[in-house]
Amino acid sequence: MKLRRRDAALGLAAWAGLGIPMMAWGEGPLAAPNVVLITPKLVTSGQPSAEALARLGEQGFQAVVYLAPLSLPNAVKDEPGILARQHIEFVNIPINFGKPSAEDFEQVAATLDRWQDRKVLVHCEVNMRASSMVFLYRTLRLKEKPEVAYEAVEKVWSPRGVWRELIVAQLKQGGVAFEPY
């Protein structure tokens, strides 16, 4: 099953034509594509396997934000239950990949604001939604330098189209001068 999810993620990346560099699947403590450690308390990734989700409590995670619809084919259908059994809080913000919005960002930011003192995993299918939204959060809410925060995004992809437009618009609205590359 892990291989099938990996293949699905790679297929999505190829389909999108984005040239996404995929990190090794399942290496290290979190079995998921494109795992990026932002801080010891904030991690982004693509879809973890059910087995990896079942071990998040052992790794100290206290909250998970999933930024894709639970109905996607490679979503872990029992993710909310797997996390609840470990007393890990779960929020699903089902961002339409083809139409991300400022409202989506505000939901993500409000959730991360509430959980600043917890160890949080923010994930989606491949870490494109997650890396982009966490970049905006770090830049606009935490006031980190965009050049530094964007390094986590470029480990996963280079946002184009509607994602680049959203990032540029949010940065402009927040008075941040930065051009994503």
According to the model, what pLDDT value does residue 6 have?
Answer: 38
CB neighbourhood size of 16 (10 A):
15
According to the model, what pLDDT value does residue 29 have?
Answer: 72
Better-predicted residue by pLDDT, 181 or 120: 120
Cα 106 from Cα 129, distance rounded (Å): 14
- Confidence label for 9 from pLDDT (cuts 50, 70 and 90): very low
Share of the chain above pLDDT 70, in %: 85
Share of the chain above pLDDT 90, in %: 83
- Closest residue by Cα to residue 34 from 45, 19, 21, 49: 45
Q: Which CATH class is domain 2-173?
A: alpha beta
According to the model, what pLDDT value does residue 5 have?
Answer: 38
16-56 tens-digit pLDDT: 333 333 333 334 579 999 999 999 999 999 999 999 999 99
- Within 13 A of 49's CA, how many CA atoms are on the CB side? 17
> Which residues make beta-bridge pairs with 99?
none
Question: Is pLDDT of 138 > 70?
Answer: yes
Helix (H, G, I), strand (E, B) or coil at 155: coil
According to the model, what pLDDT value does residue 58 have?
Answer: 96
According to the model, what pLDDT value does residue 28 have?
Answer: 53
Question: Is pLDDT of 11 > 50?
Answer: no
Q: What is the arithmetic mean of pLDDT over 157-177? A: 98
Q: Edge-to-edge strand order for the sheet containing 63-66?
A: 36-39, 42-45, 120-123, 63-66, 89-92
64-88 tens-digit pLDDT: 999 999 999 999 999 999 999 999 9
Question: Is pLDDT of 1 > 90?
Answer: no
According to the model, what pLDDT value does residue 7 have?
Answer: 39
CA 128, 136, 79, 70 torsion-angle sign: negative
Nearby residues of 166 by Cβ (< 8 Å), 6 or more positions away: 100, 101, 102, 105, 132
Q: What count of residues does the chain have?
A: 181
Cα 85 from Cα 169, distance rounded (Å): 39
State the average pLDDT for the chain: 88
According to the model, what pLDDT value does residue 49 have?
Answer: 96
Q: Is residue 152 within 8 Å of residue 38, measured between CB atoms? A: yes
> Which residues make beta-bridge pairs with 123?
45, 66
What phi and psi values does residue 163 have, to the nearest 5 degrees? -70, -45
What's at 136, amino acid-wise?
L
